[in-house]
Amino acid sequence: MSNPERPVAPEGGQPLPGFEPWLVVCLLAFVPGALIVILPRATLAPWLVPICISMGVLLLIGLAMLVRSEWKHRRSEDRASERARRAA
C-alpha cells in the first residue's frame, strides 16, 4: 500500500515519491512475457496459455492495488479537509 504520509521535499513542496507496490506487481507481469520471447517454440507450446493467464492476472492485481491505494488516499484527504473545515 502507498504511504500517504511521505516526507516533504526540502523546499516544502510536494511529497517525495515512495515505494509503490502496485507498480512492482505490474512490472512483474512482463517477466512471463519475456519467457515467451526467450523460450523456443517447442518448449513454449504447452506453457503458452498459463504464461498469458499469469500476465493478465498480475496486471489486473496491480491495477486493483492502484485503484485501492488511490481510493484510500482520497479518503484520507477528504477526512483531513473535513477536519480543517470543522476547526475553522
* Domain ranges within the chain, ordered by starting residue: 22-87
**pLDDT tier at 11, thresholds 50, 70, 90:** low
Sole residue written with cell 481510493: 71
* pLDDT tops 90 at residue 87: no
Residues facing 8 on adjacent strands: 15
- Residue 29 in 3-state DSSP? coil
Written as nine digits, the cell of 39 is 523460450
Amino acid at 66: L
What's the pLDDT tens digit per position in 23-56? Answer: 999 999 999 989 888 989 888 889 999 999 999 9
pLDDT value, residue 55:
95
- Does this model's pTM top 0.75? My answer is no
